[in-house]
Protein backbone atom coordinates (compact mmCIF):
# COMPACT_ATOMS: atom_id res chain seq x y z
CA UNK A 1 0.00 0.00 0.00
CA UNK A 2 1.20 3.50 -0.85
CA UNK A 3 0.22 6.75 0.88
CA UNK A 4 -0.18 10.20 -0.63
CA UNK A 5 -0.86 13.36 1.40
CA UNK A 6 -2.66 16.37 -0.06
CA UNK A 7 -2.82 19.69 1.73
CA UNK A 8 -4.49 22.90 0.72
CA UNK A 9 -2.72 26.12 1.69
CA UNK A 10 -3.70 28.00 4.83
CA UNK A 11 -5.89 31.06 4.87
CA UNK A 12 -4.61 33.70 2.43
CA UNK A 13 -4.94 37.47 2.52
CA UNK A 14 -7.52 37.35 -0.27
CA UNK A 15 -9.48 34.67 1.57
CA UNK A 16 -9.61 37.06 4.52
CA UNK A 17 -10.70 39.94 2.28
CA UNK A 18 -13.30 37.76 0.50
CA UNK A 19 -11.70 38.18 -2.92
CA UNK A 20 -11.32 35.83 -5.87
CA UNK A 21 -7.68 34.78 -5.85
CA UNK A 22 -6.79 32.42 -8.70
CA UNK A 23 -3.28 33.19 -9.98
CA UNK A 24 -2.95 36.35 -7.86
CA UNK A 25 0.15 35.67 -5.79
CA UNK A 26 -0.93 36.66 -2.30
CA UNK A 27 0.59 35.46 0.96
CA UNK A 28 -0.85 33.73 4.01
CA UNK A 29 -2.49 35.53 6.92
CA UNK A 30 -1.24 34.99 10.47
CA UNK A 31 -3.99 32.40 10.85
CA UNK A 32 -2.77 30.77 7.63
CA UNK A 33 0.73 30.48 9.07
CA UNK A 34 -0.67 28.89 12.21
CA UNK A 35 -2.83 26.47 10.20
CA UNK A 36 0.27 25.29 8.33
CA UNK A 37 2.19 24.83 11.58
CA UNK A 38 -0.69 22.78 12.95
CA UNK A 39 -0.77 20.62 9.82
CA UNK A 40 2.93 19.88 10.19
CA UNK A 41 2.51 19.03 13.86
CA UNK A 42 -0.36 16.67 13.06
CA UNK A 43 1.60 14.83 10.38
CA UNK A 44 4.66 14.55 12.62
CA UNK A 45 2.59 13.30 15.54
CA UNK A 46 1.17 10.49 13.40
CA UNK A 47 4.55 9.40 12.07
CA UNK A 48 4.41 10.69 8.52
CA UNK A 49 7.71 11.13 6.69
CA UNK A 50 8.13 12.33 3.10
CA UNK A 51 10.81 11.80 0.48
CA UNK A 52 9.66 14.46 -1.98
CA UNK A 53 7.20 17.36 -2.14
CA UNK A 54 5.31 19.05 -4.96
CA UNK A 55 3.70 22.48 -4.97
CA UNK A 56 2.59 25.31 -7.23
CA UNK A 57 4.56 28.47 -8.01
CA UNK A 58 2.23 30.58 -5.86
CA UNK A 59 3.61 31.70 -2.51
CA UNK A 60 0.61 30.71 -0.37
CA UNK A 61 1.08 27.05 -1.33
CA UNK A 62 4.88 27.24 -1.18
CA UNK A 63 4.79 28.93 2.22
CA UNK A 64 2.34 26.35 3.57
CA UNK A 65 4.65 23.58 2.40
CA UNK A 66 7.75 25.23 3.91
CA UNK A 67 6.07 25.69 7.28
CA UNK A 68 4.63 22.16 7.27
CA UNK A 69 8.01 20.61 6.45
CA UNK A 70 9.75 22.83 9.02
CA UNK A 71 7.44 21.54 11.73
CA UNK A 72 8.32 17.99 10.63
CA UNK A 73 12.10 18.68 10.44
CA UNK A 74 11.95 17.77 6.74
CA UNK A 75 13.07 21.03 5.09
CA UNK A 76 15.90 19.13 3.40
CA UNK A 77 13.74 16.99 1.10
CA UNK A 78 13.46 17.89 -2.62
CA UNK A 79 10.63 20.30 -3.46
CA UNK A 80 9.34 20.53 -7.03
CA UNK A 81 7.31 23.58 -8.11
CA UNK A 82 5.08 23.77 -11.16
CA UNK A 83 2.55 26.21 -12.59
CA UNK A 84 0.43 23.16 -13.40
CA UNK A 85 -0.42 22.96 -9.69
CA UNK A 86 -1.52 26.62 -9.58
CA UNK A 87 -5.03 27.46 -8.47
CA UNK A 88 -7.70 27.59 -11.15
CA UNK A 89 -7.39 30.81 -13.15
CA UNK A 90 -10.45 32.91 -12.30
CA UNK A 91 -9.98 35.25 -15.25
CA UNK A 92 -11.46 38.71 -14.90
CA UNK A 93 -12.81 37.89 -11.44
CA UNK A 94 -9.34 37.70 -9.88
CA UNK A 95 -8.82 40.28 -7.16
CA UNK A 96 -12.48 41.28 -7.06
CA UNK A 97 -14.59 41.18 -3.91
CA UNK A 98 -17.00 38.25 -4.08
CA UNK A 99 -19.92 40.09 -2.52
CA UNK A 100 -19.58 42.91 -5.07
CA UNK A 101 -19.37 40.42 -7.94
CA UNK A 102 -22.49 38.65 -6.64
CA UNK A 103 -24.33 41.96 -6.37
CA UNK A 104 -23.42 42.81 -9.96
CA UNK A 105 -24.00 39.46 -11.69
CA UNK A 106 -26.38 37.65 -9.34
CA UNK A 107 -25.90 34.72 -7.00
CA UNK A 108 -26.87 32.06 -9.55
CA UNK A 109 -24.34 33.26 -12.12
CA UNK A 110 -21.51 33.49 -9.59
CA UNK A 111 -22.38 30.07 -8.19
CA UNK A 112 -22.22 28.63 -11.71
CA UNK A 113 -18.82 30.21 -12.37
CA UNK A 114 -17.43 28.87 -9.12
CA UNK A 115 -18.97 25.45 -8.70
CA UNK A 116 -19.66 23.96 -12.14
CA UNK A 117 -17.09 21.79 -13.91
CA UNK A 118 -17.12 23.29 -17.40
CA UNK A 119 -18.08 26.99 -17.08
CA UNK A 120 -15.31 29.58 -17.34
CA UNK A 121 -15.51 32.99 -15.65
CA UNK A 122 -15.02 36.13 -17.81
CA UNK A 123 -11.56 36.34 -19.35
CA UNK A 124 -8.78 38.69 -18.30
CA UNK A 125 -7.84 41.48 -20.71
CA UNK A 126 -5.06 41.16 -23.26
CA UNK A 127 -2.99 43.62 -21.21
CA UNK A 128 -3.28 41.56 -18.04
CA UNK A 129 -2.49 38.41 -20.02
CA UNK A 130 0.69 40.00 -21.38
CA UNK A 131 1.70 40.96 -17.84
CA UNK A 132 1.32 37.35 -16.75
CA UNK A 133 3.38 36.19 -19.73
CA UNK A 134 6.18 38.56 -18.70
CA UNK A 135 6.28 37.26 -15.11
CA UNK A 136 9.62 35.47 -14.54
CA UNK A 137 7.92 32.55 -12.80
CA UNK A 138 6.22 31.70 -16.10
CA UNK A 139 9.26 32.23 -18.35
CA UNK A 140 9.48 28.54 -19.23
CA UNK A 141 5.75 28.13 -19.82
CA UNK A 142 4.55 28.25 -23.41
CA UNK A 143 2.36 31.23 -24.28
CA UNK A 144 -0.52 28.93 -25.18
CA UNK A 145 -0.50 27.45 -21.68
CA UNK A 146 -1.11 30.74 -19.87
CA UNK A 147 -4.92 30.95 -19.70
CA UNK A 148 -7.24 33.93 -19.98
CA UNK A 149 -9.70 32.03 -17.72
CA UNK A 150 -10.29 28.41 -16.70
CA UNK A 151 -13.09 26.03 -15.85
CA UNK A 152 -12.49 23.23 -13.36
CA UNK A 153 -12.08 20.82 -16.30
CA UNK A 154 -9.40 23.08 -17.80
CA UNK A 155 -7.63 23.00 -14.44
CA UNK A 156 -8.01 19.23 -14.22
CA UNK A 157 -6.34 18.72 -17.61
CA UNK A 158 -3.16 20.57 -16.65
CA UNK A 159 -3.05 19.03 -13.16
CA UNK A 160 -3.28 15.53 -14.63
CA UNK A 161 -0.39 16.20 -17.01
CA UNK A 162 1.77 16.92 -13.96
CA UNK A 163 0.28 14.02 -12.02
CA UNK A 164 1.16 11.46 -14.69
CA UNK A 165 4.54 12.92 -15.68
CA UNK A 166 5.97 13.92 -12.31
CA UNK A 167 4.06 12.55 -9.32
CA UNK A 168 3.09 9.05 -10.46
CA UNK A 169 6.72 8.01 -11.13
CA UNK A 170 7.69 9.13 -7.60
CA UNK A 171 4.94 7.08 -5.99
CA UNK A 172 5.69 4.06 -8.18
CA UNK A 173 9.29 4.21 -6.97
CA UNK A 174 7.98 4.00 -3.40
CA UNK A 175 8.71 7.62 -2.56
CA UNK A 176 6.49 9.15 0.10
CA UNK A 177 4.85 12.21 -1.47
CA UNK A 178 3.13 15.35 -0.16
CA UNK A 179 1.40 17.85 -2.46
CA UNK A 180 0.73 21.40 -1.25
CA UNK A 181 -1.63 23.18 -3.60
CA UNK A 182 -5.00 24.90 -3.88
CA UNK A 183 -8.71 24.28 -3.46
CA UNK A 184 -9.47 23.73 -7.11
CA UNK A 185 -6.27 21.96 -8.16
CA UNK A 186 -6.79 19.48 -5.35
CA UNK A 187 -10.48 19.25 -6.20
CA UNK A 188 -9.44 18.31 -9.73
CA UNK A 189 -7.03 15.65 -8.51
CA UNK A 190 -9.54 14.17 -6.06
CA UNK A 191 -12.15 14.17 -8.84
CA UNK A 192 -9.77 12.08 -10.94
CA UNK A 193 -8.62 9.72 -8.19
CA UNK A 194 -12.15 8.99 -6.97
CA UNK A 195 -13.63 8.95 -10.48
CA UNK A 196 -16.22 11.58 -9.59
CA UNK A 197 -18.46 12.59 -12.51
CA UNK A 198 -18.58 16.21 -13.65
CA UNK A 199 -21.99 16.78 -12.12
CA UNK A 200 -20.84 15.32 -8.81
CA UNK A 201 -18.07 17.83 -8.24
CA UNK A 202 -20.35 20.71 -7.19
CA UNK A 203 -20.30 19.73 -3.51
CA UNK A 204 -16.66 18.58 -3.47
CA UNK A 205 -14.51 20.75 -1.21
CA UNK A 206 -11.02 20.67 0.22
CA UNK A 207 -10.59 22.49 3.57
CA UNK A 208 -7.61 24.67 4.45
CA UNK A 209 -4.54 22.95 5.92
CA UNK A 210 -6.21 19.72 7.03
CA UNK A 211 -4.07 16.83 5.73
CA UNK A 212 -5.97 14.58 3.33
CA UNK A 213 -4.43 11.09 3.23
CA UNK A 214 -4.94 8.71 0.30
CA UNK A 215 -4.09 5.04 0.60
CA UNK A 216 -3.38 3.66 -2.88
CA UNK A 217 -2.91 0.15 -4.23
CA UNK A 218 0.00 -0.87 -6.47
CA UNK A 219 -1.89 0.49 -9.48
CA UNK A 220 -2.40 3.83 -7.67
CA UNK A 221 -6.11 3.25 -7.32
CA UNK A 222 -7.56 4.59 -4.06
CA UNK A 223 -8.24 2.03 -1.36
CA UNK A 224 -9.61 4.73 0.91
CA UNK A 225 -8.95 8.30 2.01
CA UNK A 226 -9.44 10.32 5.17
CA UNK A 227 -8.70 13.65 6.81
CA UNK A 228 -6.28 13.72 9.71
CA UNK A 229 -6.42 15.81 12.89
CA UNK A 230 -4.62 15.75 16.25
CA UNK A 231 -6.58 12.74 17.48
CA UNK A 232 -6.11 10.77 14.30
CA UNK A 233 -8.33 9.83 11.39
CA UNK A 234 -11.52 11.86 11.22
CA UNK A 235 -14.61 9.63 11.14
CA UNK A 236 -15.95 9.02 7.66
CA UNK A 237 -18.47 11.67 6.71
CA UNK A 238 -17.39 14.12 9.39
CA UNK A 239 -17.07 17.57 7.83
CA UNK A 240 -14.59 20.01 9.39
CA UNK A 241 -16.25 23.08 10.86
CA UNK A 242 -15.31 25.43 8.00
CA UNK A 243 -16.66 23.12 5.29
CA UNK A 244 -20.34 23.89 5.95
CA UNK A 245 -21.67 24.49 2.43
CA UNK A 246 -24.93 25.89 3.69
CA UNK A 247 -23.08 28.96 4.94
CA UNK A 248 -22.01 31.19 2.03
CA UNK A 249 -19.34 32.74 4.26
CA UNK A 250 -17.51 29.44 4.05
CA UNK A 251 -17.38 29.32 0.26
CA UNK A 252 -14.44 31.74 0.12
CA UNK A 253 -11.80 29.09 0.79
CA UNK A 254 -12.60 27.57 -2.61
CA UNK A 255 -10.77 30.43 -4.38
SS3 per-residue string spanning the chain: CEEEEEEECCCEHHHHCCECCCCCCCCECHHHHHHHHHHHHHHHHCCCCCCEEEECCCHHHHHHHHHHHHHCCCCCCCEEECHHHCCCCCHHHCCCEHHHHHHHHCHHHHHHHHHCCCCCCCCCCHHHHHHHHCCHHHCCCCHHHCCCCCCHHHHHHHHHHHHHHHHHHHHHCCCCEEEEECHHHHHHHHHHHCCCCHHHCCCCCCCECCCEEEEECCCCCEEEEEEEECCEECCCCCCCHHHCCCCHHHHHHHC
Cα distances (angstroms) measured from residue 85 to each of 80, 143, 157, 230, 249:
10, 17, 11, 27, 25
Judge whether 87 counts as a catalytic residue.
Answer: yes
**CA nearest neighbour of 99 among 17, 28, 27:** 17
Which one of 11, 35, 71, 87 is the catalytic residue? 87
Q: Is 132 a catalytic residue?
A: no
Identify the active-site residue in 9, 54, 89, 182.
Answer: 9
First to last CA, the chain: 33
In this structure, are residues 154 and 120 in contact, taking their beta carbons and an 8 Å threshold? yes
Catalytically active residues are 9, 87
Amino acid sequence: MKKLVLIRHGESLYNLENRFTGWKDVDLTDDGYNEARKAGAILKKHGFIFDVAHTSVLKRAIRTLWITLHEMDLVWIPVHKSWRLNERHYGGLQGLNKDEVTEKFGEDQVHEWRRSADIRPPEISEEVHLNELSNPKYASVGEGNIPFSESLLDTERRVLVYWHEEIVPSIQHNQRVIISAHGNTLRALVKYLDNIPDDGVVSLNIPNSIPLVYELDDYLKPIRHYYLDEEGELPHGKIPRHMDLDDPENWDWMG
